[in-house]
Structure 1
Amino acid sequence: MTALNILSGGAAQGLIASLAPQFKAQTGLDITGEFGAVGAMADKLRSGTKADIIILTAAIIARLAEERWVVPASIADIGMVETAVAVRTGDSLVKVNDEAGLRDALRAADAIFVPDIKASTAGIHVAKILQQLGIAGEVASRLRIFPNGATAMRQLAETDALRPIGCTQSTEIISTKGVALSGSLPRGCDLSTMYTAAVATRAAHAPQAQGLIDLLIGAGQREVRTRAGFIDARP
């Protein structure tokens, strides 16, 4: 036994990375597995991918509990994550104080970097907002769609586009070198998503998985969660 297997939304990747050394010191285990679009990660679990701990949106974890893929008693909220706007480090921050400002910012961009618009939390929301703003067709050719937010942000950091912009969950922006958090989406276009952890029903290392959940939600890690972009689930 050398590693704990995880299936997680990309929103939690930076937080897991920051806590991995402490977890290893406590258990002797590394953390391995996959981070990606929440829908894709849930489907991997259902298709038999080995996992000890699952971190996805609260809604998906609830469905997995009903389907008996995770242990209901282990379910714990980690925190809320906002969907936000990103720019390359060094580029001017984009002001999106209202719907008109967001519409203008998206129209002005020559490349818009987003995660999967069918399987990821932020990507699905971006597609909805483009429709809401009435510019989905106008900007369709400028969308740069990637399997998850982390990949989208890495590509944003490396692009040679003149006026690029990105939109994904704040945690993925914060944890990616070369991009900067420009701001949350404005009211009426905003999205805050609760991320939740659970031990997989078929976990090979259930006690250690529960130990990681306890570490993730512990009061002593509040500052770590905040730095990673999580809005604490507890007062």
Structure 2
Amino acid sequence: MNNLERNLNILSGGAAQGLVASLAPAFKATTGLDIAGEFGAVGVMADKLRRGAAADIVILTAALLAGLAEEKFVVTASIANVGRVETALAVRSGDPKLSVTTADDLRAALLAADAIFVPDIKASTAGIHVAKVLAQLGIADAVADRLRVHPNGATAMRHLASSDAKRPIGCTQSTEIIATSGVEFSGPLPQGCELATMYTAGVTVHAANATAAERLIELLTSTDARDLRIKAGFASR
């Protein structure tokens, strides 16, 4: 058995990384396999699969996974919803939480920040949405030099945690905030600016470990894992 066969290879949006990690021990206990692969901006992960990256399972937004199924990269019948993830605000641990309940509150919070940590604004779910919200609020130009853009939400949150800025904030998916030490969840984006994204999992057409991939999907979506999903930042399906 080669290294690829000893591991379940995954390509996933960063939103699912914490949940997958919490289920890894149970998965190994039932399959004998470790979980390997990459977590990152969903658009980047989808393109990796298209370019031939080895993967048994993908966990991406529902829209992306449906597209990959149409393109014959993912087995349509295997696709299952994991849960919705909100795009949210983050602060460094120890910094005051933000009080944001309206679009005007959000505009004020962003204008008051001297550094705004976000994921890729062209390839990540949250980053694309942040760019849209900044334009919607009419402050894209005003805060452009304060944006600290990183390849994915997890990386952005790690940099927020270590930032020496006076008033830094972050914006990415709630699951990535919750999974990162040194930052704290500070609430979802307000009505009119909000985004809740459904994440789905599916087995790839060329999976070397299709049965194990199906097992991980069972774990991710099971009733028994409901509390783990909520703890990781997923809303109920």
TM-score by length of 1: 0.99
List 4+ stretches of structure 1 deviating above 4 A: none
CA distance in 2, matches of 1:99, 1:72: 38
2:213 is the counterpart of 1:209: yes
2:47 is the counterpart of 1:43: yes
For 2:95, the aligned partner's letter is D
CA distance in 2, matches of 1:156, 1:17: 22
2:101 is the counterpart of 1:97: yes
CA distance in 1, matches of 2:95, 2:112: 14
2:234 is the counterpart of 1:230: yes
- Residue in structure 1 matched with residue 111 of structure 2 by the alignment: 107
Which runs of 5 or more residues in structure 2 are unaligned?
Answer: none
Give 1:86's match in structure 2, choosing from 64, 70, 90: 90
Give the CA deviation at 1:176. Answer: 0.2
2:79 is the counterpart of 1:75: yes
For 1:191, the aligned partner's letter is L
For 1:203, the aligned partner's letter is A
CA distance in 2, matches of 1:145, 1:26: 39
For 2:217, the aligned partner's letter is I
- Residue in structure 1 matched with residue 149 of structure 2 by the alignment: 145
For 1:42, the aligned partner's letter is A
- Residue in structure 1 matched with residue 134 of structure 2 by the alignment: 130
2:195 is the counterpart of 1:191: yes
CA distance in 2, matches of 1:95, 1:136: 21
Give the CA deviation at 1:212. Answer: 0.3
**SS at the partner of 1:12?**
helix
**SS at the partner of 1:125?**
helix
Give 2:17's match in structure 1, choosing from 13, 22, 35: 13
**SS at the partner of 2:198?**
strand
CA distance in 2, matches of 1:72, 1:231: 24
CA distance in 1, matches of 2:142, 2:201: 38
**SS at the partner of 1:51?**
coil
**SS at the partner of 2:132?**
helix
- Residue in structure 2 matched with residue 22 of structure 1 by the alignment: 26
- Residue in structure 2 matched with residue 169 of structure 1 by the alignment: 173
For 2:101, the aligned partner's letter is N
Note the aligned Cα RMSD (angstroms). 0.4
Give 2:223's match in structure 1, choosing from 194, 219, 229: 219
Which runs of 5 or more residues in structure 1 are unaligned?
Answer: none
TM-score by length of 2: 0.98
CA distance in 1, matches of 2:195, 2:215: 30
- Residue in structure 1 matched with residue 183 of structure 2 by the alignment: 179
Q: What percent of counterpart residues are identical?
A: 68
The superposition leaves residues 23-60 of structure 1 with CA deviations (integer Å, 9 ceiling, x where unpaired) of 01111100000000000000000000000000000000
CA distance in 1, matches of 2:65, 2:28: 25
